Structure 1
């Protein structure tokens, strides 16, 4: 039987085109694309009755990021400039409804657990899951306003924190905040365009308390996850962290993200650094792989995760900053085994190995499907 894939994604998005290329390279039919716009348009139709026609019968369904589609963003957050910061709570509510719409389609076989995706898009819940599992994470609290942030920092004796919108991604609205001798400083990629706080590709600093208060209080209504600043290791003049991609729970790809600013995201001026600086320290590298495997194990229904791992300034301590549901977009990055497979090829290979009943040398996924009357858990993917 020929395996058929369907992808919930965005037309023209690199995530879909790279996954499609990986599928075609294995001699399989081109994946069917289900635009997020179409899924979101089905909101309010319980049981997936109208959504059923979106998915070809028998297809394995991969859920991917809505990407940068302005139309999908408007359906998720409401009309407005797609570059604006904020609206995360509305986005999350619409996004999770969309996930439930997909999961409710009778007989659908999902390659990702929608409940886990929902947790991964809530930094507070994700942090709590990791902490309960003993995965190292920075201490954290929730804040409801600038005054609440300052009060809770003072209670804990923290002078430096990262303030993160609960449902943000790609560092949108993230603030590296510090206080010293009555002065404050906030480093962020958010910038005011008139009265609208917008994402930019340049990291900047705000040092007036009124400016910082305005930033935090605009973001606070959507929920704020605040983590104690974890001093990161540096290579030369740049601090760095790691994005480690796992497939079926196994770390398969890693990239060093180095920057002169607290934000290491590659789209904000970070660059791919020297991974050998970490791999050449065997004890450290083993702990990196172990922590990322343990983080992935917290989400056993997710075929792939992108773990953002911080290495401490002592080059010994580790802490997970994020676990990303859609963290596998790393063009041109080969696998850690040296087989020159990108992240999408590795996932297709894992799925084909599972379909043949093999393990391909690691633990690979097994997908389970069920009919409309089966409990939701029976329609989730289980990677064992």
Structure 2
């Protein structure tokens, strides 16, 4: 099958490793890629594509794109009765690596930009690898969980906006809760919280740096342990202002003594790359130096439950049918006999070095795209 060149338009940061990885895979597959930076897509400086596939990639690792997305979030956040950072404040931001900066405003801006791209890039001859609406939904943890209402997920606590509201909502003497930013990613703003009578402990990926009268939150690879309730309440209040998803903190199965979960990459509705993630802390994200567990080891560990786990991932992806690729995270209960969906990731294919049937995630995506009519000569 011959492949027509220049048929893939990729919106992303051309200097990021994930974009470079996909471009290299496309070249191996005989496809050329036109990379459009987010700032150009937002400003309209580049003409809309008129044919082929459009791939939306992560806007990460680009400070100019981050600021542009925050600016786009000012009006929609204000419409939602939020208090956005204004234009001047955005320009003064120091976007240090790992800083947690206005994730709710960022999401509102990103959703607005994706919606506008869907309106402006409307030639009937183009096809989205994942539609803008699907990417927006995958970025919204609560929206995903609502799509998965008929699938197994951790029990969820109704939305709270403060630590006081959380304690009012959960009155049990002993509780284990997992708090995540609704619009976070890569373990940003995650808190594993437990209290028993008067004892309380929070394990979190958040590190707080104080300078004078101001404080800045960062993602830390080394989990922080907090034991003073006032300190925990302050952190929960800060995170709740950006919207939280609060779930039951379920125990995980263990691999060599460490709790683990599973990331499955679903491409075109088919579960392909699968990797286990084990860590000594409650947070198993690979960017936090979790240990990879191979597909073969996972299959051996889960035994006859393996097909059930992969079918659950496929079922989760079917609830977002316009997403050509999704990373699906699955919790494995102790004993390996029960599973719970945790979240979806629109950009969940960044697994360098992981092969399935001899292909990287990006190679597998190119193979899938080559089978689509718009890439075939």
Determine if the TM-score, normalized by the shorter chain, exceeds 0.5.
yes
Which of 208, 211, 216 is the equivalent residue of 2:236? Answer: 216
Residues 1-384 of structure 1: pairs in structure 2 closer than 5 A: 2-3=4-5, 4-29=7-32, 31-40=33-42, 42=43, 50=44, 53-77=46-70, 78-79=90-91, 80-82=93-95, 83-104=98-119, 105-107=121-123, 108-131=126-149, 134-141=150-157, 142-154=159-171, 159-194=175-210, 195-280=215-300, 281-335=302-356, 339-355=357-373
- Residues 170 and 265, structure 1, Cα contact 8 Å, conserved in 2: yes
Show CA shifts across 1:323-347 (max 9, x none): 1111000001111xxx210111111
Give 3-state SS (helix, strand or coil) of 1:57's partner. coil
**Which 4+ stretches in 1 moved above 6 angstroms?**
none
1:181-209 C-alpha deviation (Å, 9 max, x unpaired): 31211111211111111222221111111
Kindly indicate whether the alpha-carbon contact (under 8 Å) linking 2:155 and 2:248 is maintained by their aligned counterparts in 1.
yes
Secondary structure in 2 aligned to 1:81? Answer: coil
User: Is contact 1:333–1:343 with CA below 8 Å preserved after alignment?
Assistant: yes
Cα distance per residue 1:156-187 (max 9 Å; x no partner): x7611110111000010011111123121111
Residues in 1 aligned to 2:322 and 2:299: alpha-carbon distance in whole angstroms: 28
Structure 2: unaligned runs, 5 residues or longer: 71-89
**Contact 2:208/2:218, CA 8 A, preserved across alignment:** yes
Contact 1:22 1:344 in 2 (8 A): yes
Corresponding residue for residue 372 of structure 1: none
Q: How far apart, CA to CA, are the structure 1 residues paired with 2:374 and 2:205?
A: 46
Rounded Cα–Cα distance in structure 2 between residues aligned with 1:261 and 1:148: 27
Other structure's SS at 1:94 match: helix
Structure 1 stretches lacking a partner, 5+ long: 43-49, 359-384
TM-score norm. by structure 1 comes to 0.85
Instruction: Give the TM-score taking structure 2 as reference length.
Output: 0.86
Shift of the 54–206 alpha-carbon distance from structure 1 to 2, 3 Å rule, reads farther
- Backbone CA RMSD of aligned residues: 1.9
Size of the alignment, in residue pairs? 342
Q: Is the 8 A contact 1:86 1:222 kept in 2?
A: no
